[in-house]
């Protein structure tokens, strides 16, 4: 079946520009996570949704980062006024959580380069 998809796969932004990254989770998956992965590091948690409710946004590094999932399926991570330190791979993951199925399925990520 279809996995988690993310778009765009690559994004180059000039410093100060706003960007929007899209995540299409696996159909029926309740939970959706965003992670940020700097080069050579493990992924770091950004935020978590259960259906349309954003239950944890403790990992968002600044108020320039904003995420939404208005209908409980597709999610968008928006970064305003991008800075060079925002350059990273942004990973989206979804999980079913019912019937004990907690494993997270990850998309391929969006590589953001801020110049």
Partner 1 sequence: DAKTTQPTSMDCAEGRAANLPCNHSTISGNEYVYWYRQIHSQGPQYIIHGLKNNETNEMASLIITEDRKSSTLILPHATLRDTAVYYCIHIYNQGGKLIFGQGTELSVKP
Residues of this chain that bind partner 1 (CB under 8 A): 4, 31, 33, 35, 41-45, 48, 56, 59, 91, 93, 95, 97, 102-109
Min dist CB 65 to partner 1, Å, is 15
In the complex with partner 1, which residue's Cβ is closer, 19 or 91?
A: 91
* Separation of alpha carbons 35 and 32, rounded Å: 10
* Separation of alpha carbons 105 and 10, rounded Å: 20
CB atoms < 10 A from the CB of 40, how many? 5
Min dist CB 54 to partner 1, Å, is 13
Dmax over CA atoms of the chain, in Å, equals 45
Min dist CB 70 to partner 1, Å, is 21
In the complex with partner 1, which residue's Cβ is closer, 45 or 66?
A: 45
In the complex with partner 1, which residue's Cβ is closer, 11 or 43?
A: 43
Min dist CB 26 to partner 1, Å, is 13
* Separation of alpha carbons 102 and 1, rounded Å: 18
Look at the chain and count its residues: 115
CB atoms < 10 A from the CB of 42, how many? 7
In the complex with partner 1, which residue's Cβ is closer, 12 or 15?
A: 12
């Amino acid at each position: 079946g279809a996995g988690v998809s993310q778009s765009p796969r690559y994004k180059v932004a000039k410093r100060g520009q706003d960007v929007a990254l899209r995540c299409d989770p696996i159909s029926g998956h309740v939970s959706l996570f965003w992670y940020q992965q700097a080069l050579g590091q493990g992924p770091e948690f950004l935020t978590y949704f259960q259906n349309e409710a954003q239950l944890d946004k403790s990992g968002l590094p600044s108020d320039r980062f904003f995420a939404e999932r208005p209908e409980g399926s597709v999610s968008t991570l928006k970064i305003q006024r991008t800075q060079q330190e925002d350059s990273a791979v942004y990973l989206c993951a979804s999980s079913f959580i019912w019937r004990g199925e907690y494993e997270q399925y990850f998309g391929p990520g969006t590589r953001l380069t801020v110049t």
